[in-house]
C-alpha cells in the first residue's frame, strides 16, 4: 500500500498557525518532503513506549542500512531530525509502530 503523506509546515517568525497532528499509521507508514532541514515532532499519547523510524536510503560500503529507530517514551513529546537529503533522500520515509504516536513535521527553511 502507499505510504501516508505527512504534510510539512514551514516555520516563520511572523506567521503563527496550528500544526495539526497526523496519527501514526503502523500499516502504511509515512512519507514527507525532505529538504534537509525537516524535523518531525513525535508525541506519544500512550501509556507505554513506542517506536518511530527514519528510513536511510544511502548505501554505505555496498550495504544499505535499513532504519534508524527511536524509542519514544510514554506520554512524551520528542523532536527528531533534521535529516540530510544525501542520506535520507528528498522524500523522508518515516515508520511508526502505533496510532498512539502523533506526528507533526516542519521545515526550518
Percent of the chain with pLDDT over 70: 94
Residue 15 pLDDT: 66
Residue 18 pLDDT: 63
Which secondary-structure segment (H or E) carries 87?
A: helix 85-88
99 versus 109: which is more confidently predicted?
Answer: 99
Instruction: Please state, rounded to an integer, the average pLDDT across all residues of the chain.
Output: 91
Model confidence, pTM: 0.88
- Quote helix, strand, coil % in the chain, to nearest 5: 5, 45, 50
Q: 77 forms bridges with which residues in the sheet?
A: 43
Residue 42 pLDDT: 97
**pLDDT, tens digit, 9 for 90 and up, residues 6-50:** 989 887 777 666 678 999 999 999 999 999 999 999 999 999 999
Identify the structural domains of the chain with CATH numbers, from first to last: 4-11+21-107 (2.60.290)
Q: 92 forms bridges with which residues in the sheet?
A: 32
On the CB side of 60, CA atoms within 13 Å amount to: 7
Distances in Å between the alpha carbon of 11 and those of 8, 71, 72?
9, 26, 24
Amino acid at each position: 500500500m502507499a505510504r501516508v503523506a505527512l504534510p510539512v509546515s514551514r516555520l516563520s517568525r511572523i506567521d503563527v498557525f496550528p500544526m495539526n497532528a497526523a496519527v501514526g499509521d503502523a500499516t502504511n507508514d509515512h512519507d514527507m518532503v525532505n529538504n534537509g532541514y525537516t524535523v518531525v515532532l513525535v508525541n506519544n499519547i500512550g501509556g507505554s513506549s513506542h517506536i518511530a523510524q527514519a528510513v536511510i536510503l544511502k548505501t554505505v560500503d555496498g550495504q544499505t542500512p535499513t532504519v534508524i529507530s527511536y524509542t519514544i517514551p510514554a506520554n512524551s513529546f520528542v523532536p527528531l531530525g533534521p535529516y540530510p537529503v544525501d542520506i535520507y533522500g528528498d522524500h523522508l520515509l518515516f515508520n511508526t509502530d502505533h496510532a498512539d504516536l502523533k506526528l507533526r513535521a516542519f521545515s526550518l527553511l
